[in-house]
C-alpha cells in the first residue's frame, strides 16, 4: 500500500514537473486575461481599447511566477492606434484562477508608429502642457519603442521604468513657423532622466548632429546637457541673419562654408523659461568678406572689402556673459596677414582686444605722411571696452614697425562716434620724406598740451585747408571745452618749408575756437602771426600775417611758381557767416593755368609768354569775400601789377558751381586811361597822340573739373576799374 502511494506520488510529481517544463517552454493559450487587461485600461479612460490575439502564458521556473505574452496587439484611442510587436507581463502564479489578477510589470515592443498618434495616446494617459505643445509642433514622423514598466501593489507605476526607442523622419514646425525636418534620434527614458543620442536633423539647410543630449527633471525645471555639431555646410547669409536676427548687410558673401562643435547646458522651467544657460563652442568659417569703404584711407589700393580666411572662433557663454576668441587670416587685395582677437561680455560691458600682425600689406597714415611698406613687419594692438550706452573706451592703441612707434592711451568715444576725451598720444617715426616726426599730446584735467621737437604737419594743414566739410577741426569732439597749449621747435608745413619756435595758446568752447594767439617764424626768419578773438557781440575776429607768403600760397595746386610776397588776412565771423579780406603784396607768378588760358584767349600772347617764362610781378592782390552755408560770394578780387591788372567778382558754390566775371587790362592801357582824365592825367601820365583805351572782359563758369572760359575784347573800361586803379595808385604813391 505504501509502495503504491509512493508510486502515485512519483507520477504526480512527474506530471507536475512535466507540466511546469511544458508551461515554461511552450506555454498555454488563454482568453482569460484579455478581459482583465481591457477592464483595467477602460477604468482609466473609456476611449481606450486593446485588440488582442490570444495570450500565451509561460511559467518562469526561477521566480515561480507566470509570464503572459501576446503578439501584434493594437491599442486604440479614439481615432488613433498604436501597433505593437509584443506585450508581456508577470503575474502571480494563482492569478490565472482568480478574478483579481495583479500585473507586476509590463514589457512591450512597438512596431513603427506615427509620432502624432503616440502623442494623442499619451495625452489620454496624462494630458500635460508639454504634450499639448508637442501636438502643435510635430507635423510628421515615425517612432518605435521598447519599454519595461513595474507596478506597485496598488497598480501604480514604479520609478524604475525604462523606455527606449527610435524616432525618424520627424518634421517640426516651430512657433515662429520655421521648419526642422529629417529629425532622427534614439532615446532612453527613465524616471526624471531622459537621454537622446545619435541625433541628426536639418534646419534652414544646416545639418545638425548630436552624440548625446541628457535631460533631467528637477523640482519644477528640466536640466539640459549635451552637444551639437554641424558639418561643413554652404550657408546662405540670409539664413544666418534670420536665425540669429542679425544685420549682416556689411558681409559681402552670399554663402559661407561653416562648421561647428558645441557643448551646452541650460535649465528650462515647466513654464518654458530659460535660465543658467552655458555653451562652449568652436566654429570654423573658411571665408568671410567684410565690406567697409572707410579702410581705403589706411590700405593703399583697397577695393571696398577685406576677406577673413580660415577663421577659428571659440565661444564660451554663460547666462548672458560670453567670451569669444579667434584667429584669422586677413586677405586685403590678395595680401594676407594674421589677426587674433578676443571679445568678452561681462554684465553691461564688452571688453575687446585685437592683435593684427601686418607684413604683407602696406599701411597708409596720411595725416602723419607715413606709409608702412609691404613685406615690412609691423604690429597693431587695440584694446578697449564697449559700454551699455554704446560708447567706446579705447584704453590702448599701439602700432610698432621697427623703431616707428605710435602709442595712444585712453580714448573715450560716445555712441555718436564723437570724441569725449583723449588722455595721451605719443608718435615717434620716420615719415615718407625721411624726416623724423615726433609728437606728444597729453591731457591734464580738461586741458591739453601738444609738444614736439620736430613734426611734419604738412598733411594735417592740407586737411584743414582743403577739407570738403563745412565743420572745423574740433568737430570730432563732443562739446570740447579746453585750454590747449602748443609748442613745436620745428614744424614742416610743406615738404621743404618749415616754421620754428611755433607756439600757440587757444581756448575752445563747445568745439569752437574762442581765442587763439599763435606766433612763429619761417625758416627765412619772417614772422607768422595769427590771432582769433571773440568779442562781446559773439563775433569771431581773425587776423593773420605771414611775412613769407610763398609756403602758404604754394599749398594751392593751381598756382605754380609763386615767389616772394607777404600776406594779410582779416575776417569777422558770426553765426557761421564770415566776411573776409585777403591781401598779398609784392609777389611774382610764373604759372597759373587759368590765367595763362585767359591771356591766350585775349590775344595777349606776350604777357602769357611772360607768365610762363620769367613771371609776372604784382604789387598787390586784394580779395573781398564772404562765406555762408558753403557759398563763397566774391565781392571783388583786384590785382595790380606793372604788366597787367585784373578785377573780378562772382561766387563759388562749395564742390559745385563756379561763376566768375571780370576785366583784364594791360598796364600800358591803365596808364592811357588815367592819362585821359583831365588835369590828373596830365600830372600823372601826360598825353600822346594816337593812344587809345583798351581792355578785355571775361567769364569763367562751370563745375570745378569742367570750367568754361569766354573772352570779349572791349573799347571802354568800367568806371569801377578806373576808380579802383586810381585808389591803388594813390596808395602806392603816398
Nearest to 669 by CA among 713, 710, 700, 711: 713
Helical spans, DSSP H, in 416-542 = 458-466
What mean pLDDT do residues 248-263 have?
78
Task: Determine the straight-line distance between the first and last CA of the chain, rounded to whole angstroms.
Answer: 174
How far is 507 from 518, CA to CA, in rounded Å? 12
The DSSP code for 93 is G
- Percent helix, strand, coil in the chain, to 5, is 20, 55, 25
* pLDDT over 70 (residue 379): yes
pLDDT band at 688 (very low <50, low <70, confident <90, very high): very low
Cell 557781440 sits at which residue?
Answer: 537
Among 61-65, 83-87, 355-359, 689-693, the range scoring the smallest mean pLDDT is 689-693
How far is 479 from 420, CA to CA, in rounded Å? 8
pTM, two decimal places: 0.74
Cell 490570444 sits at which residue?
Answer: 54
What mean pLDDT do residues 697-706 have?
81
> What are 543's strand-pairing partners?
531, 570
Report the range out of 100-104, 314-318, 705-709 with the highest average pLDDT.
314-318
Query: How many Cβ atoms sit within 10 Å of the Cβ of residue 22?
Result: 12
Whether 33 and 58 have beta carbons less than 8 Å apart is answered as: no
Among 52-56, 265-269, 497-501, the range scoring the smallest mean pLDDT is 52-56
Report domain extents, the chain: 23-167, 292-432, 590-733
pLDDT band at 732 (very low <50, low <70, confident <90, very high): low
> What are 315's strand-pairing partners?
281, 324
Whether 570 and 542 have beta carbons less than 8 Å apart is answered as: yes
Structure confidence at residue 268 (pLDDT): 87
562 or 458: which leads in pLDDT: 458
How far is 421 from 446, CA to CA, in rounded Å? 8
Structure confidence at residue 558 (pLDDT): 57
- By three-state DSSP, how is residue 667 classified? helix
Q: What is the DSSP string of 694-713?
A: -EEEEEEEEETTEEEEEEEE
pLDDT band at 685 (very low <50, low <70, confident <90, very high): very low
Across the chain, what does the average pLDDT equal? Answer: 80
Grid cell listed for 435: 624726416
54 or 25: which leads in pLDDT: 54
Query: How many Cβ atoms sit within 10 Å of the Cβ of residue 209?
Result: 16
What mean pLDDT do residues 614-641 have?
84
Structure confidence at residue 520 (pLDDT): 95
pLDDT band at 501 (very low <50, low <70, confident <90, very high): very high
* Helix and strand counts by DSSP (H, E) for the chain: 12, 41
How far is 503 from 451, CA to CA, in rounded Å? 9
Structure confidence at residue 545 (pLDDT): 94
Whether 333 and 303 have beta carbons less than 8 Å apart is answered as: yes
Query: How many Cβ atoms sit within 10 Å of the Cβ of residue 130?
Result: 14
Structure confidence at residue 683 (pLDDT): 39
Structure confidence at residue 383 (pLDDT): 96
pLDDT band at 370 (very low <50, low <70, confident <90, very high): very high
How far is 721 from 665, CA to CA, in rounded Å? 9
Report the range out of 229-238, 440-449, 681-690 with the highest average pLDDT.
440-449
* pLDDT over 80 (residue 712): no
What mean pLDDT do residues 270-284 have?
86
What is the CB-side half-sphere exposure of residue 155 using CA atoms within 13 A? 8
Q: Where are the beta strands (DSSP E) in 270-403?
A: 274-291, 305-318, 321-332, 335-346, 349-358, 363-365, 370-372, 378-386, 392-401
How far is 348 from 151, CA to CA, in rounded Å? 53
Structure confidence at residue 597 (pLDDT): 62
288 or 409: which leads in pLDDT: 409
Cα 250 versus chain centre, distance = 7
Q: Where are the beta strands (DSSP E) in 494-604?
A: 498-509, 512-522, 527-534, 540-546, 563-574, 577-589
Grid cell listed for 406: 605710435
* pLDDT over 50 (residue 322): yes
Work out whether strand 138-150 and strand 105-110 pair parallel, antiparallel, or are unpaired: antiparallel
Element (H, E) at 37: helix 32-44
How far is 130 from 123, CA to CA, in rounded Å? 10
* pLDDT over 80 (residue 620): yes
Q: Where are the beta strands (DSSP E) in 629-690?
A: 631-640, 644-653, 658-666
Work out whether strand 74-77 and strand 138-150 pair parallel, antiparallel, or are unpaired: unpaired
* pLDDT over 90 (residue 234): no
pLDDT in tens, 176-223: 777 888 889 998 988 888 899 999 988 877 888 999 999 998 888 889
How far is 290 from 169, CA to CA, in rounded Å? 38
Whether 74 and 40 have beta carbons less than 8 Å apart is answered as: no
In the chain, % of residues over pLDDT 90: 28
Query: How many Cβ atoms sit within 10 Å of the Cβ of residue 26?
Result: 9
Structure confidence at residue 62 (pLDDT): 63
How far is 401 from 337, CA to CA, in rounded Å? 15
* pLDDT over 70 (residue 716): no
Structure confidence at residue 693 (pLDDT): 43
Burial class (CB in 10 A: 0-12, 13-18, 19+), 449: middle
pLDDT in tens, 138-186: 888 998 989 888 877 776 778 888 889 999 998 888 777 778 888 899 9
Report the range out of 238-242, 543-547, 603-607 with the highest average pLDDT.
543-547
Whether 641 and 615 have beta carbons less than 8 Å apart is answered as: no
Amino acid at each position: 500500500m505504501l509502495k503504491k502511494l509512493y508510486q502515485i506520488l512519483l507520477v504526480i510529481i512527474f506530471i507536475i514537473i512535466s507540466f511546469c517544463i511544458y508551461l515554461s517552454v511552450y506555454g498555454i493559450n488563454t482568453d482569460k486575461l484579455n478581459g482583465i487587461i481591457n477592464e483595467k485600461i477602460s477604468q482609466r479612460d473609456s476611449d481606450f481599447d486593446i485588440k488582442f490575439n490570444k495570450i500565451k502564458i509561460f511559467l518562469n521556473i526561477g521566480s515561480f511566477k507566470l509570464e503572459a505574452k501576446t503578439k501584434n496587439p493594437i491599442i486604440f484611442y479614439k481615432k488613433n492606434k498604436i501597433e505593437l510587436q509584443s506585450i508581456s507581463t508577470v503575474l502571480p502564479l494563482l492569478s490565472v484562477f482568480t478574478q483579481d489578477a495583479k500585473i507586476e510589470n509590463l514589457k512591450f515592443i512597438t512596431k513603427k508608429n506615427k509620432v502624432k498618434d503616440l502623442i494623442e495616446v499619451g495625452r489620454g494617459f496624462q494630458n500635460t502642457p508639454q504634450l499639448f505643445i508637442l501636438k502643435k509642433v510635430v507635423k510628421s514622423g515615425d517612432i518605435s519603442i521598447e519599454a519595461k514598466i513595474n507596478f506597485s501593489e496598488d497598480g501604480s507605476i514604479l520609478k524604475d521604468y525604462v523606455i527606449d526607442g527610435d524616432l525618424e523622419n520627424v518634421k517640426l514646425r516651430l512657433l515662429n513657423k520655421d521648419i526642422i525636418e529629417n529629425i532622427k534620434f534614439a532615446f532612453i527614458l527613465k524616471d526624471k532622466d531622459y537621454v537622446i543620442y545619435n541625433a541628426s536633423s536639418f534646419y534652414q539647410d544646416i545639418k545638425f548632429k548630436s552624440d548625446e543630449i541628457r535631460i533631467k527633471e528637477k523640482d519644477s525645471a528640466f536640466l539640459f546637457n549635451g552637444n551639437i555639431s554641424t558639418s561643413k555646410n554652404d550657408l546662405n547669409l540670409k539664413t544666418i541673419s534670420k536665425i540669429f536676427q542679425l544685420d549682416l548687410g556689411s558681409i559681402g558673401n552670399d554663402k559661407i562654408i561653416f562648421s561647428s562643435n558645441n557643448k551646452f547646458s541650460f535649465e528650462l522651467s515647466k513654464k518654458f523659461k530659460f535660465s543658467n544657460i552655458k555653451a562652449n563652442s568652436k566654429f570654423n568659417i573658411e571665408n568671410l568678406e567684410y565690406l567697409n569703404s572707410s579702410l581705403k584711407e589706411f590700405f593703399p589700393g583697397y577695393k571696398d572689402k577685406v576677406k577673413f580666411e580660415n577663421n577659428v572662433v571659440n565661444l564660451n557663454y554663460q547666462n548672458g556673459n560670453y567670451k569669444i576668441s579667434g584667429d584669422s587670416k586677413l586677405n586685403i587685395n590678395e595680401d594676407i596677414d594674421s589677426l587674433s582677437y578676443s571679445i568678452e561680455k561681462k554684465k553691461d560691458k564688452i571688453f575687446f582686444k585685437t592683435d593684427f600682425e601686418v607684413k604683407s600689406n602696406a599701411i597708409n597714415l596720411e595725416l602723419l605722411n607715413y606709409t608702412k611698406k609691404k613685406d615690412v613687419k609691423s604690429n597693431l594692438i587695440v584694446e578697449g571696452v564697449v559700454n551699455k550706452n554704446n560708447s567706446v573706451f579705447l584704453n590702448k592703441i599701439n602700432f610698432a614697425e621697427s623703431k616707428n612707434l605710435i602709442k595712444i592711451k585712453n580714448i573715450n568715444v560716445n555712441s555718436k562716434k564723437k570724441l569725449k576725451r583723449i588722455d595721451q598720444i605719443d608718435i615717434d617715426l620716420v615719415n615718407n620724406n625721411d624726416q623724423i616726426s615726433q609728437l606728444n599730446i597729453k591731457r591734464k584735467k580738461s586741458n591739453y598740451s601738444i609738444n614736439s621737437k620736430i613734426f611734419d604737419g604738412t598733411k594735417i594743414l592740407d586737411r584743414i585747408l582743403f577739407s570738403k566739410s563745412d565743420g572745423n577741426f574740433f568737430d570730432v569732439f563732443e562739446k570740447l571745452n579746453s585750454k590747449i597749449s602748443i609748442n613745436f621747435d620745428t614744424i614742416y608745413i610743406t615738404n621743404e618749408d618749415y616754421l620754428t619756435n611755433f607756439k600757440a595758446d587757444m581756448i575752445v568752447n563747445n568745439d569752437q575756437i574762442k581765442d587763439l594767439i599763435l606766433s612763429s617764424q619761417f625758416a627765412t626768419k619772417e614772422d607768422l602771426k595769427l590771432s582769433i578773438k571773440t568779442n562781446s557781440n559773439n563775433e569771431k575776429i581773425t587776423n593773420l600775417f605771414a611775412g613769407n607768403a610763398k609756403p602758404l600760397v604754394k599749398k594751392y595746386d593751381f598756382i605754380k611758381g609763386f615767389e616772394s610776397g607777404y600776406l594779410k588776412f582779416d575776417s569777422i565771423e558770426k553765426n557761421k557767416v564770415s566776411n573776409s579780406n585777403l591781401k598779398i603784396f609784392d609777389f611774382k607768378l610764373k604759372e597759373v593755368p587759368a590765367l595763362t588760358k585767359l591771356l591766350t584767349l585775349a590775344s595777349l600772347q606776350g604777357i602769357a609768354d611772360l607768365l610762363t617764362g620769367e613771371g609776372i610781378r604784382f604789387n598787390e592782390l586784394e580779395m573781398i569775400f564772404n562765406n555762408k552755408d558753403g557759398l563763397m560770394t566774391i565781392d571783388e578780387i583786384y590785382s595790380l601789377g606793372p604788366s597787367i591788372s585784373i578785377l573780378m567778382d562772382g561766387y563759388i558754390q562749395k564742390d559745385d558751381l563756379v561763376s566768375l566775371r571780370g576785366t583784364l587790362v594791360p598796364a600800358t592801357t591803365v596808364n592811357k586811361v588815367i592819362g585821359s582824365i583831365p588835369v590828373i592825367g596830365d600830372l600823372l601820365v601826360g598825353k600822346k597822340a594816337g593812344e587809345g583805351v583798351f581792355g578785355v572782359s571775361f567769364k569763367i563758369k562751370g563745375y570745378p573739373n569742367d570750367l568754361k572760359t569766354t573772352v570779349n575784347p572791349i573799347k571802354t573800361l568800367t568806371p569801377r576799374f578806373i576808380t579802383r586803379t586810381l585808389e591803388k595808385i594813390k596808395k602806392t604813391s603816398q
